[in-house]
């Protein structure tokens, strides 16, 4: 009988996401990385298909975008709040990784319902 060993994602407070292998259902909620940093399981990164280095990131988010004529306003909003987030000419924010997406959405008062509440 084979044991499934899925990849689990953990993100540090600094925003670095690492992938770890554990038997199915045995992943702890927190780990200490090889660098000694505390990391919390990141279900959003897992659902997206992996860590920050995954082919899924960066993403252009149409759902949290604005109309093209409001792109400058959104850029100004991010700048005003000291947030580093690219906005396309179409008005869509570009998120570098799951942690970045979470922070930028929270800043604007949004949440990603597919992120399991993280």
100 occurs within a structural domain: yes
Q: Given this model, what pLDDT does residue 5 score?
A: 57
Is residue 67 domain-shared with residue 88, that is, in the same domain? Answer: yes
Which of the residues in the chain have pLDDT under 70? 1-5, 48-56, 114-118
The CATH number of the domain holding residue 13 is: 2.20.28
Q: Given this model, what pLDDT does residue 24 score?
A: 77
Is residue 31 domain-shared with residue 67, that is, in the same domain? Answer: no
Predicted TM-score (pTM) of the model is 0.54
Is residue 38 domain-shared with residue 73, that is, in the same domain? Answer: no
Beta strand pairing call for 59-60 and 86-87: unpaired
Q: State how many domains the chain has.
A: 2
Domain that holds residue 11: 7-48
116 occurs within a structural domain: no
Is residue 12 domain-shared with residue 43, that is, in the same domain? Answer: yes
- If we measure between CA atoms, which residue out of 93, 11, 3 comes closest to residue 47? 11
Is residue 73 domain-shared with residue 34, that is, in the same domain? Answer: no
How many angstroms separate the CA atoms of 114 and 4, rounded?
24
- If we measure between CA atoms, which residue out of 85, 83, 81 comes closest to residue 93? 85
Q: Given this model, what pLDDT does residue 18 score?
A: 87
Decide if 38 contacts 30 (C-beta within 8 A): yes
Q: Given this model, what pLDDT does residue 118 score?
A: 44
What tens digit of pLDDT does each residue of 73-85 get? 999 999 999 999 9
CA separation (Å) from 32 to 15, 28, 65, 75, 115?
14, 11, 35, 36, 22
Q: Given this model, what pLDDT does residue 116 score?
A: 45
2 occurs within a structural domain: no
54 occurs within a structural domain: no
Is residue 38 domain-shared with residue 65, that is, in the same domain? Answer: no
């Amino acid at each position: 009988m084979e044991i499934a060993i899925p990849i689990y994602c953990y993100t540090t407070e600094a925003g670095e996401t690492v992938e770890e292998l554990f038997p199915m259902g045995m992943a702890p909620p927190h780990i200490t990385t090889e660098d000694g940093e505390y990391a919390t399981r990141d279900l959003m990164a897992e659902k997206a298909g992996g860590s920050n280095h995954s082919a899924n990131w960066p993403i252009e988010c149409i759902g949290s975008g604005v109309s093209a004529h409001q792109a400058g306003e959104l850029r100004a909003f991010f700048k005003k709040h000291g947030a580093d987030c690219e906005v396309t000419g179409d008005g869509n924010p570009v998120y570098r990784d799951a942690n970045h997406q979470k922070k930028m959405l929270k800043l604007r008062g949004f949440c990603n319902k597919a992120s399991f509440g993280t």
